[in-house]
Amino acid sequence: MSLELKKVIDQISKDKGIDRDLLIDTLEEAVRVSVYKKYGDDIDVEVSFNEETNEIEVYQFKVVVENVENPKNEISLQEARTHDENVQLGDELGFKLSIEDLGRIAAQSAKQIIIQKMRDAEQEIIYEEYKDRVGEIISGIIQRRDKMGWIINLGRTEALLPKDELIPSERYIRGDRIQAYIIEVKKEGRGPQIIVSRSHPDYLKALFHREVPEVADGTVKIMAVARDPGKRAKVAVMTQDSDVDPVGACVGVKGSRIHNIVAELKGEKIDIVIWSPDIATYAANALSPARISKIFVDEEEKILEVIVPDDQLTPAIGQRGQNVKLASKLLGWKIDVYTETRYNQLNEDKRILEQLASVAEIPMQNFLDAGFESLEEIEQATEEELLSIEGLSKEKLSDLKAAINLLKTNN
């Protein structure tokens, strides 16, 4: 039996990766609890694993007294000397208890403690293993679906792929192999919870690190990533090595590298653009494939006014505004796109509004605040609507109307 116990301890330690000393401490605690259940928790016992005999040994200790008042913890001098003739008053005697005598309920309690301690130890090991792996790509098998998302079997533990971290167009069934990106490892009472994602921008970055050696070794740096998961993404790259084409390195020979990434993301189209410290140049690159005429930069508000030829509005904005939205996300700036015709018209409207504001002796912004942005809108407004413009007096209204008629004639 003793040899069998040693084998069990060694096997569990090996299979579960649990420290052998921790297992022995758990066994000792479980037996101690069982002893207290059978004999009461007011007895003085010592439980230890004997490495020589490979047995759990339990000793009950009693103090040698003249008159016994508490038989559980005391023994008379006369009885004590039947065990040890040299014993004196005040000494302690230890009596070995048989584990086999603990009973079924006590043994079951010990088993439950051992199982729980082993589970706790295993969960702690798993947490320690994964807590520093945030940012890694892991592979697993779809196990089941619950209200939170998909549960992925990683072997020794599970990961959760939440619904909002899925690529919207993807569908899975039980048994599918899947890759995902670890975004968080939480330590919870029921064990560590590993949260993974397939829609996170950093997942795309991690795929480039895996597929492109120049990215992995730092020759090519990924400066920013913007994704519309499953549909389209933009990746800004740069290098300080004049001999390396950062876009070409990411694409690979005949598109081999980018093809692997696109395949993993189920066809998500990826635009690789050159990063630049000059925001206007960077914006022009990010809005590719559209051709850009001019870019006006508002550094304070972080707004870009992008002017494109009339036939480039659709490629600049993209389907459902996707191209300009991704470019804006990539830069971290607001981007307003205008055709050349529309921009010229707006400038003309602004010039006319400034003239009318001068005649009315009010700030041009007052016209805009009242909802008037062009000569036509002011011309078609009623007298009551015009007088709603802050600062416009009745005395100046006739001057305004005269100015409108003059501007119409000249235009």
CA distance 7 to 15: 12
Identify whether 258 is part of a domain: no
- The residue from 197, 224, 249 where one domain ends is 197
**What Å distances lie between residue 31 and 13, 94, 109, 110, CA to CA?**
19, 17, 9, 6
Return the amino acid letter for 31: V
Residues 399 and 363 in one domain: yes
Residues 98 and 159 in one domain: no
DSSP class of residue 98? P
Residues 157 and 113 in one domain: no
At 281, the pLDDT band (50, 70, 90 cuts) reads: very high
- Average pLDDT of the segment spanning 302-318: 93
**What Å distances lie between residue 223 and 138, 183, 231, 236, 334, CA to CA?**
23, 19, 21, 5, 18
> What is residue 107's predicted lDDT score, i.e. its pLDDT?
53
> What is residue 113's predicted lDDT score, i.e. its pLDDT?
65
* Higher pLDDT among residues 101 and 217, named by residue: 217
Tokens of 103: 């009973």
Give the predicted TM-score (pTM) of the model. 0.67
CATH number of the domain encompassing residue 50: 3.30.1480.10
Per-chain mean pLDDT for the chain: 85
> What is residue 290's predicted lDDT score, i.e. its pLDDT?
92
Query: Which residue's structure tokens are 């029921």?
Result: 190
> What is residue 410's predicted lDDT score, i.e. its pLDDT?
60
CA distance 300 to 298: 6
Please write the tens of the pLDDT for every residue from 227-262.
999 999 999 999 999 999 999 999 999 999 999 999
Residues 116 and 160 in one domain: no
Residues 97 and 136 in one domain: no
Residues 297 and 410 in one domain: yes
Residues 42 and 96 in one domain: yes
| % of the chain at pLDDT higher than 90 | 44
Q: What are phi and psi of 308, to 5 degrees?
A: -125, 155
Name the residue range of residue 184's domain: 132-197
Identify whether 379 is part of a domain: yes
Identify whether 382 is part of a domain: yes
Residues 75 and 27 in one domain: yes
Please write the tens of the pLDDT for every residue from 120-169.
777 878 888 888 899 999 999 999 988 889 999 998 889 999 999 999 88
Please write the tens of the pLDDT for every residue from 57-77.
888 899 888 888 888 888 888
At 32, the pLDDT band (50, 70, 90 cuts) reads: confident
Identify whether 91 is part of a domain: yes
- Average pLDDT of the segment spanning 25-38: 80
At 398, the pLDDT band (50, 70, 90 cuts) reads: confident
- The residue from 100, 128, 156 where one domain ends is 128
The number of domains in the chain is 3
Residues 149 and 102 in one domain: no
SS3 state at 266: coil
CATH number of the domain encompassing residue 190: 2.40.50.140
Alpha helices in 131-264 (DSSP H): 201-211, 213-216, 246-251, 256-264
Residues 361 and 303 in one domain: yes
CA distance 47 to 159: 39
CATH number of the domain encompassing residue 307: 3.30.300.20
Lowest mean pLDDT among 111-115, 204-208, 308-312: 111-115
CA distance 15 to 28: 21
> What is residue 374's predicted lDDT score, i.e. its pLDDT?
76
Identify whether 88 is part of a domain: yes
At 220, the pLDDT band (50, 70, 90 cuts) reads: very high
* Higher pLDDT among residues 383 and 179, named by residue: 179
Identify whether 231 is part of a domain: no
Please write the tens of the pLDDT for every residue from 332-381.
999 999 999 888 887 777 888 788 778 778 887 887 788 787 777 877 77
| % of the chain at pLDDT higher than 70 | 90
- Average pLDDT of the segment spanning 293-315: 93
> What is residue 95's predicted lDDT score, i.e. its pLDDT?
86
Residues 311 and 376 in one domain: yes
Residues 77 and 136 in one domain: no
Identify whether 246 is part of a domain: no
- The residue from 169, 197, 225 where one domain ends is 197
> What is residue 120's predicted lDDT score, i.e. its pLDDT?
75
Identify whether 235 is part of a domain: no
Please write the tens of the pLDDT for every residue from 77-118.
888 888 888 888 888 888 888 776 665 655 566 566 666 777
> What is residue 1's predicted lDDT score, i.e. its pLDDT?
41
> What is residue 110's predicted lDDT score, i.e. its pLDDT?
57
**What Å distances lie between residue 411 and 278, 373, 407, 408, CA to CA?**
39, 17, 6, 5
